[in-house]
Amino acid sequence: MLPLVVQDLGTLPYAEALAVQREAARARMAGELAEDVLFLVEHPPVVTLGRNAKAAHLGVSAEYLARHGIELFEVERGGDVTFHGPGQLVGYPVFDLRGLKPDLHWYLRQLEGALIQALDRLGLPATRNPGHTGVWTAGAPRGSSEPFPAAERAPEGSSGPPEGPEAQPALRKIASIGVHAREWVTWHGFALNVSTDLRYFDLMVPCGIPGVRMTSLEAELGRAVEMAEVKRQVVAGVAEGFGLGAELRAGS
């Protein structure tokens, strides 16, 4: 069984975590890092724009985000716009797919499967949503309230999450996935909402999917969930899904 090193970075600003994973990916490609690594982290509030992000999908200006203490980054991962923040478990796998299976579609499906397995063990049934990368769950929708003053909402002409034919009210998204790979070495990864303040997603069209409804583990279960237990189950899901033996290390 190939080894998997799991490094828990705690809470780290997005730029610092991005530098950590980019350096690990460089070292993995250069043969200086012998093992696959999974970085676990929580970020202070930040919005990231992937390669396919459309300006209209972020319903507020960069100045608005800055006024509310939310950072903004354009990055090389796939996908559209998303939010990271406290109460969200973010995982950055730096995997050499040549030792696993050099197939990005397979890799994405394995990540989905790992998170689905972890959520099942945490008591929440989850599923894939064909045509939309990520992990989803079904159930009665929860309400949402405005986190920011209405007077400071999006500039005129911008748009928030619209309702439309692509909306799937029976399914809500609990985990987003956006990855990048070079020479079959991956970075970026997944974001699982545990106790995330979901109102932040009202500032955007999450993942560029019109009508999408975001949710969290605590919102679905109706109770508090220990982040340590979520990490344990996610690590187990990733290790089993990719046939790796996990070794947990603290810090960077």
Per-residue model confidence as pLDDT tens digits over 41-56: 999 999 999 998 999 9
**Model confidence pLDDT, tens digit, residues 13-25:** 999 999 999 999 9
Give the pLDDT confidence of 96-154 residue by residue, as tens digits: 999 999 999 999 999 999 999 999 999 999 999 999 999 999 953 444 444 444 334 44
Q: What is the mean pLDDT of residues 237-252?
A: 82
Contacts of 235 (CB under 8 A, 6+ apart): 6, 38, 40, 246, 248
In a domain, 145, yes or no: no
What percent of the chain shows pLDDT beyond 70? Answer: 86
Task: Indicate whether 163 belongs to any domain.
Answer: no
Domain encompassing residue 90: 2-140+169-250
Q: Is residue 220 part of a domain?
A: yes
Please check whether residue 149 lies inside any domain of the structure.
no
Task: Please check whether residue 47 is in contact with residue 68, taking contact to mean a CB–CB distance below 8 angstroms.
Answer: no
* Helices 104-121 and 227-242, axial angle in degrees (round to 10): 140
For the chain, the domain total comes to 1
Q: Is 207 a catalytic residue?
A: yes
d(CA 170, CA 212): 10
Catalytic residue (one of 37, 41, 70, 207): 207
Total Cβ atoms within 10 A of residue 92: 26
Is residue 94 a part of any domain in this protein? yes
Q: What number is the average pLDDT over the span 74-88? A: 96
Assigned domain for 150 exists: no
Residue 42: beta bridge partners? 11
Residues 6+ apart with CB under 8 A from 26: none
Task: Find the CATH number of the domain harbouring 7.
Answer: 3.30.930.10
Of 97-106, 159-168, 202-211, which gets the smallest average pLDDT? 159-168
- Answer yes or no: is 154 within a domain: no
- Whole-number mean pLDDT of the chain? 88
209's CB contacts (< 8 A; 6+ apart) are: 80, 132, 166, 173
Is residue 213 within 8 Å of residue 160, measured between CB atoms?
A: no
- The answer as to whether 234 is a domain residue is yes
Identify the burial level of 26 via C-beta atoms within 10 angstroms of its C-beta, where 0-12 means exposed, 13-18 middle and 19 or more buried.
middle
pLDDT at 42: 98
Gap between the Cα atoms of 147 and 252, Å rounded: 33
